[in-house]
Amino acid sequence: MRSFEKLLLENKAWAHEKVEEDPDYFNRLAKIQTPEFLWIGCSDSRVPANEITGTQPGEIFVQRNIANMVVHTDFNLLSVLEYAVEHLHVKHIIVCGHYGCGGVKAAMGHHNLGIINKWVRNIKDVYRIHEQELLEIEEEEERVNRMVELNVQEQVLNLAKTSIVQKAWKYDQRPHLHGWVYGLNNGILKPICDMHPGTHIDHIYEYDDL
Ligand code: CO
Gap from CA of 115 to ligand 1 centroid (Å): 17
Distance 201 CA to ligand 1 centre (A): 27
Give the DSSP H/E element, type plus range, for residue 120: helix 116-129
Which of these, 206, 154, 184, 173, lies nearest to 85 by C-alpha position? 173
Spatial separation of the C-alpha atoms in residues 25 and 28, rounded to whole Å: 6
CA 175 to ligand 1 center in whole angstroms: 24
Q: Cα(67)–Cα(36) distance, rounded to whole angstroms?
A: 23
Q: Which listed residue (16, 46, 72, 196) is catalytic? A: 46
Structure confidence at residue 77 (pLDDT): 98
Distances (CA, A) of 62 to 17, 69, 111: 24, 13, 30
For residue 31, the CA-to-ligand 1 centroid distance in Å is 33
- pLDDT of 83-132, one tens digit each? 999 999 999 999 999 999 999 999 999 999 999 999 999 999 999 999 99
Could you tell me the distance, in angstroms and rounded to a whole number, from the CA of residue 210 to the centre of ligand 1?
Answer: 34
Q: What is the pTM of this model?
A: 0.96
| Angle (nearest 5°) at CA 113 between 107 and 117 | 55
Across the chain, where does the E strand assignment appear? Answer: 37-42, 60-65, 92-98, 176-182, 189-195
**Which pLDDT score is estimated for 1?**
85
37 forms bridges with which residues in the sheet? 60, 92
Tens of pLDDT, residues 63-73: 999 999 999 99
User: In this structure, what are the phi and psi dihedrals at residue 189, rounded to the nearest 5 degrees?
Assistant: -90, 125
Buried b (16+ CB within 10 A) or exposed e, 5-19: eeeeeeeeeeeeeee
Pairwise CA distance, residues 45 & 47, whole Å: 6
- Judged against a pLDDT cut of 90, whether residue 191 lies above it is answered with yes
Give tens-digit pLDDT for 168-189. Answer: 999 999 999 999 999 999 999 9
CA distance 144 to 126: 12
Neighbours of 49 (CB within 10 A): 20
Q: How confident is the model at residue 32 (pLDDT cuts 50, 70, 90)?
A: confident
Give the residue from 198, 124, 126 showing the smallest Cα distance to 160: 198
Tell me: the pLDDT tens digits for 1-25?
A: 899 999 999 999 999 999 999 999 9
- Compute the distance from residue 92 Cα to the ligand 1 centre, in Å: 21
Determine whether 46 is an active site residue: yes
Active site residue 101: yes
DSSP structural state of residue 86: I
> Which domains are seen in the chain, by residue range?
1-32 (no CATH), 33-205 (3.40.1050.10)
Catalytic option among 44, 110, 121, 209: 44
